[in-house]
Amino acid sequence: MRRIVLVTLLSALAVPAEAQVDAATRAGIDSIFSDLDRSNAPGCAVGVARAGDLVFERGYGMGNLDHRIPLDGSSVFYLASVSKQFTAAAILVAEHEGFLSRDDLVREHIPEFPDYGEPVTIRHLVHHTSGVRDYLTLMWLAGTPLENVLSDEDMLGLIHRQKELNFRPGSEYLYSNSGYVLLAEIVRRATGRSLREYANEKIFRPLAMGDTHFHDDRHHVVARRVFSYDPGEAGDWRTSYLMNFDKVGDGGLYSTVRDLARWDAAFYEDRLGIPGFDDAMYERGVLQSGDTIAYAAGLGVEDWRGVRRVEHSGSLMAFRTQITRYPDDRTTTIVLCNTSTLPPGLGGRLAEVLLPELVPEPPAAGNSNPSSAETPEDSPEADPSEFDLEPLAGDYYSEELESTWTMRVAEGLLAIHHPSGDVIELATDDGVTFRRGGVELTFDGPREFLLQAGRVKNLRFTRLR
């Protein structure tokens, strides 16, 4: 009898995750990702969890084209900004253990952080309401390629050189990767352990997330590591993976579908020893005006099509990742992809298969703000100007970037000759403010200009000659 019971138990444990949902649901999920189910192209690993139990798991496409390794639930992905919720969780754990308070000033833990004359707190960093300029945008503006070896000291030095904030702390919301690398540094200084070490001890080990880590060492070997790919011009695939990029906090987490289902369980049971952990993670930021924003602790929290949705996505290199939780249905979807060429609306289509109670989606109204997605490279070409632009030509230096931009005039157009080698032609209506995509320059005479560039505002350049 004992042998029969044991065999039955082992058989139950051996049931694959994809067999734990009905055939119609499996077919519905498969239909969404069928175009990615190829043996010669990248794709996605997909999971569905019910209160932390993985009930569906499948890979569509390849995780490594060099060695023809297919994707599955154990494939280890770079998660990009999905990592932020784990950094925020480490802050909550450190607060629970008495190392810090979210209402601490950043300068209490990082004394070299600039004094902007306004208090910047840990809570501001968590909710992206600090006004701290985004370091990834600053790197692009400075012409520093992500594939370079960038030390933590260089990265923090770039952030600390900024003389201004984008806005008064607490007055606005603006997503900033700098805030989360500063949170990683605060964890290190407050606890005496790196974010990688602290998260391993306090989060990943208790949740048995054995294939998850913050990747702060570019030389570290990662078993079953997935590479990402962009399409090549000849119809082939080109590797889009940065071996040297090892910054953590804003990103840098490596994990799998299976481990992320274990993470999901922490939102339904007190597995980390922090009562009310889910409520703390879902607590949305509040501005000085009293308005509540949608961003919580590394998570977006909103009502969507009649249900409560908690989600965060990530995008770097050609990785596209997303964890979406529907707490009232105790259902979570995990979509980890290693290609930037994905069918639109994957998350919404997946929810429609799993949550039949969704309010029907309204007809698409088109993009009401088409310029929001433009970059200098893909925005419309600038028309020649009627203004005399020659006095604006020259070299301009930013002390905060430690970088020089060259402005040249050709055929009636003012163009940025960027340190990266890019040439960006600008449009103007008045000869003072020049724009292209998300970049805007406003000249104060021929000696200097202020730059607005998405997550970086009011950056000053002064003419050298």
pLDDT, one tens digit for every residue, the chain (465 residues)? 444 444 334 333 444 555 588 999 999 999 999 999 999 999 999 999 999 999 999 999 999 999 999 999 999 999 999 999 999 999 999 999 999 999 999 999 999 999 999 999 999 999 999 999 999 999 999 999 888 888 899 999 999 999 999 999 999 999 999 999 999 999 999 999 999 999 999 999 999 999 999 999 999 999 999 999 999 988 899 999 998 899 999 999 999 999 999 999 999 999 999 999 999 999 999 999 999 999 999 999 999 999 999 999 999 999 999 999 999 999 999 999 999 999 888 999 999 999 988 988 776 544 333 333 334 555 556 666 688 999 999 999 999 999 999 999 998 899 999 999 999 999 999 999 999 988 999 999 889 999 999 999 999 999 997
pLDDT value at residue 378: 53
pLDDT value at residue 364: 55
Q: Residue 457 is inside which H or E element, if any?
A: strand 456-463
pLDDT value at residue 386: 80
All CATH 2.40.128.50 domain ranges of the chain, comma separated, are 374-463
pLDDT value at residue 76: 98
| Tokens at 436, concatenated | 């292209």
In the three-class reduction of DSSP (H, G, I as helix; E, B as strand; rest coil), residue 229 is classed as strand
Q: Does domain 374-463 have CATH number 3.40.109.10?
A: no
Q: Provide the strand spans (E) within 359-412.
A: 394-398, 403-410
pLDDT value at residue 12: 38
Distance, in Å, from the CA atom of 317 to the CA atom of 310, rounded to the nearest integer, reads 24
All CATH 3.40.710.10 domain ranges of the chain, comma separated, are 78-114+122-129+168-354
pLDDT value at residue 344: 85
Cα angle for residues 285, 93, 75 (degrees, 5° grid): 90
Q: What are phi and psi of 136, to 5 degrees?
A: -70, -40
Question: Which string of b and e fits 256-269 if b means at least 16 CB within 10 Å?
Answer: bbbbbbbbbbbbbe
Q: What are phi and psi of 44, to 5 degrees?
A: -145, 145
Is 10 in contact with 3 (CB distance < 8 Å)?
Answer: no
H helices then E strands: how many in the chain? 12, 21
Q: List the CATH code of the domain at 78-114+122-129+168-354.
A: 3.40.710.10
pTM of the model: 0.91
